Amino acid sequence: MQTYEELLDAVVATDGDTVTILAPATEQPIGDAPWHDEAELEAAIARAQAAQPAWAALSSAERADYLNRAADAIEAAAEPLAQLLAREVGKPLGGANARFEVGASANWLRATAAQEVPVETLVDDGETYAELHYRPIGVVGAITPWNWPMMIATWQIAPSLRVGNTVVIKPSEYTPFSGLALAAVINQVLPEGVLNVVVGDGELGAAMTANPAFGKIMFTGSTATGTKIIESSAANITRLTMELGGNDAGIVLADADPQQVAGDIFWGAFLNTGQTCAALKRLYVHDDIYDQVVDAIAQVAKSAPMGDSLDEDSLLGPVQNKRQWKIVDTLVKLAVESGARVVVGGNPDPDATGYFYPATIVADIDPENALVVEEQFGPALPIVRYSDIEDALRWANALDVGLGASVWGSDRAEALKVAERMEAGTVWINKHGAVHPFIPFGGTKRSGYGMEFGVEGLKAVSVPQVING
């Protein structure tokens, strides 16, 4: 699988039920992906259950070696994987896009291989001795989204395998080839049955989450779907890690340098054309520098090339699917109708080929506008003016989500004071959306629960066991 054609041949369906996948940049078919039913899900679960005892019996070092070999396999197939991502997701090859995602997947495997959960001595006082161990759960079900289909899959696969679980993964029905291809490459080195893939829509996902064979379900996606997963898995007391909707807020303080922060704010919002759970999706800027910040961000937007995902000059691509394109378009139109000002972007050509929506900056917008309070998940950023930091904090914290947030300013101590008052699982200072394999990540409120990444992420896919005596 060293060419794109060989990789695609390995994952296209040649028989059975299929679904045709279109490239969002061209609206042309990429190929036919398999479409699985509950019987095929049960078969995948059976393979995972059969493989799990032997996988768990390996030493920690042996499993780490497998993860490093999986990273080697990804790196050997990096360009074909990136080509497939570019076609199926629409993200360009260059910049923090397709090649970046493939490289990050390999790096995350290596970082996860380098970590392990230590045995903790809880009490050792001469009379009582107790240790805390972490054991594999069994079979983990992973349900992944369409926006970062390889990297987020790796975030779920790597820790699960590291601690001795086996995995059944269901990629989004919008981007099945990316999940299938990643697994096909990794499975070149893994024992049979350790990593399994099923393809289907929400109906198959519901069958997964209701199945008692899964000791753990990991899900990244909308809060609405997350709520259904909680309900369907409740009877089985299934452990859950839920990374749900965001609508991240950023606050720019009066002492920020507009030119210095504009680029990082723009890419914090428009990374992957705005289709990132922890992207900056609403920005509150102090009145003293409001116009300068808006203008500086708009200039960055004008200079960021958007185009076909296979064009090496592109840094922004299309929205991944027509449904999401319509959500962005509707919210921007509603903002304009309410009196908000489009500084740059807007007015997409509805008859153009591909799901392209121009990078859009919306200023002079009411803090209660739908474009502000609803997660647009696309290339549009509303910028709200404030004079009193208490108003900015109240608006930032008013929503029922809290995945990430950011504070921008020259005085770090002052920025830290504001950051401590923001209701989000992660608050960045003078950056937004940065993640690290050693730093735990998770949401608050309706943005979900459970931690990923680092040792806390390994514990989340394990069962704690106390040995007392």
State the catalytic residues: 243, 277
Q: What distance in Å separates the CA atoms of residue 418 and residue 363, rounded to the nearest whole number? A: 23
Q: Identify whether the C-beta of residue 153 lies closer than 8 Å to the C-beta of residue 170.
A: no
Determine the residue type at 44.
A
Tally DSSP H helices, then E strands, for the chain: 16, 20
Q: Identify whether the C-beta of residue 379 lies closer than 8 Å to the C-beta of residue 359.
A: yes
**Helical segments of 374-453, H only:** 389-397, 412-419
**Helical segments of 304-353, H only:** 322-337
DSSP state of 437: T
Residue with tokens 């399994």: 196
Torsion over CA of 130, 134, 136 and 142, rounded to 10 degrees?
Answer: 150
DSSP state of 452: B
* 192: nearest Cα among 5, 8, 43: 43
Q: 345: phi > 0 → left, psi -120 to 50 → alpha, else beta; which?
A: left
Cβ partners under 8 Å of residue 385, min gap 6: 284, 285, 287, 290, 364
